Amino acid sequence: MTQVGIRTQNRWLLFQLGSRDDCCPQNIKAEQLAIWGREEKAELASFMKKDLRIAIAKRAVIVLVGHPGRQSRGTMNALAATNRNFKLASRLLGLDSKLERNDGTLQSYVGFRVQHDNARGPMKGGIRYHPEVDPDEVNALAQLMTWKTAVANIPYGGAKGGIGCNPSELSISELERLTRVFTQKIHDLIGTHTDVPAPDMGTGPQTMAWILDEYSKFHGYSPAVVTGKPIDLGGSLGRDAATGRGVLFATEALLNEHGKSVSGQRFVIQGFGNVGSWAAQLISEKGGKVVAVSDITGAIKNSKGLDIPSLLQHSKEHRGVKGFHGGDPIDPKSILVEDCDVLVPAALGGVINRENANEIKAKFIVEAANHPTDPEADEILKKKGVVILPDIYANSGGVTVSYFEWVQNIQGFMWDEEKVNNELRTYMTKGFKDVKEMCKTHECDLRMGAFTLAVNRVARATVLRGWEA
Ligand SMILES: NC(=O)C1=CN([C@@H]2O[C@H](COP(=O)(O)OP(=O)(O)OC[C@H]3O[C@@H](n4cnc5c(N)ncnc54)[C@H](OP(=O)(O)O)[C@@H]3O)[C@@H](O)[C@H]2O)C=CC1
Ligand SMILES: O=C(O)CCC(=O)C(=O)O
Question: How far apart, in whole angstroms, are the C-alpha atoms of residue 373 and residue 386?
Answer: 12
Q: Ligand 2: which of 156, 225, 243 to mutate, most ligand atoms within 8 Å of CB?
A: 243
| Contact call for residues 437 and 448 (beta carbons, < 8 A) | no
Distinct helix (H) and strand (E) counts, the chain: 14, 16
- The residue whose C-alpha atom lies closest to atom 4 belonging to ligand 2 is 125
Question: Per residue in 82-100, pLDDT tens?
Answer: 656 766 776 676 655 567 7
Please indicate whether residue 214, judged by its CB atom, sits closer than 6 Å to ligand 1. Answer: no
Q: How many CA atoms lie within 13 A of 205 on its CB side?
A: 15
Which residues approach ligand 2 with their CB closer than 6 A?
Answer: 124-126, 148, 198, 200, 227-228, 370, 395, 398-399, 402
- The answer to which of 17-21, 162-166, 301-305, 340-344 has the lowest mean pLDDT is 17-21
The answer to the question of whether 274 is labelled as a binding residue is yes
Q: Ligand 2: which of 138, 236, 399 to mutate, most ligand atoms within 8 Å of CB?
A: 399
Greater pLDDT, 47 or 118: 118
Looking at residue 72, its pLDDT comes to: 39
Question: Per residue in 108-121, pLDDT tens?
Answer: 888 999 999 999 99
Q: The dihedral of CA 164, 168, 171, 172: what is its sign? A: positive
**pLDDT > 70? residue 301:** yes
Looking at residue 107, its pLDDT comes to: 80
Q: How many CA atoms lie within 13 A of 168 on its CB side?
A: 8
**Ligand 1 atom, smallest distance to 271 CA:** 22
Express as a percent the part of the chain with pLDDT over 70.
79
Q: Which residues contact 170 (CB under 8 A, 6 or more apart)?
A: 101, 178
**Ligand 1 atom, smallest distance to 199 CA:** 1
Q: What separation in Å is there between the alpha carbon of 3 and the centre of ligand 2?
A: 24
Question: Is CATH 3.40.50.720 the right assignment for the domain spanning 241-389?
Answer: yes
Rg (CA), the chain: 22
DSSP class per residue in 302-371: -TT---HHHHHHHHHHHTSSTT-TTSEEE-GGGGGGSS-SEEEE-S-TT-BSTTTGGG---SEEE--SSS
Q: How many CA atoms lie within 13 A of 197 on its CB side?
A: 30
Q: What separation in Å is there between the alpha carbon of 32 and the centre of ligand 2?
A: 34
| Contact call for residues 435 and 449 (beta carbons, < 8 A) | yes
Q: What is the mean pLDDT of the chain?
A: 86
Looking at residue 10, its pLDDT comes to: 46
- The residue whose C-alpha atom lies closest to atom 2 belonging to ligand 2 is 399
Domain coordinates of the chain in residue numbers? 95-237, 241-389
CA distances from 444 to 149, 362, 368, 392, 437 (A): 21, 21, 21, 16, 10
Question: Can you tell me the mean pLDDT for 435-450?
Answer: 97
160: annotated active-site residue: yes
The answer to the question of whether 87 is labelled as a binding residue is no
**pLDDT > 80? residue 55:** no
In CATH terms, are 95-237 and 241-389 the same topology? yes
Q: How confident is the model at residue 34 (pLDDT cuts 50, 70, 90)?
A: very low
The CATH number of domain 95-237, selected from 3.40.50.300, 3.40.50.10860, 3.40.50.2300, 3.20.20.190: 3.40.50.10860
Q: What separation in Å is there between the alpha carbon of 221 and the centre of ligand 2?
A: 22
Phi, psi of 316 (to 5 degrees): -65, -45
Q: What is the pTM of this model?
A: 0.83
Greater pLDDT, 284 or 22: 284
Question: Can you tell me the mean pLDDT for 335-350?
Answer: 97
Q: What separation in Å is there between the alpha carbon of 30 and the centre of ligand 2?
A: 34
Minimal CA–CA distance to 402: which of 163, 145, 162, 83? 145
**pLDDT > 90? residue 325:** yes
CA distances from 394 to 127, 351, 366, 390 (A): 19, 17, 6, 6
Question: Can you tell me the mean pLDDT for 381-408?
Answer: 98
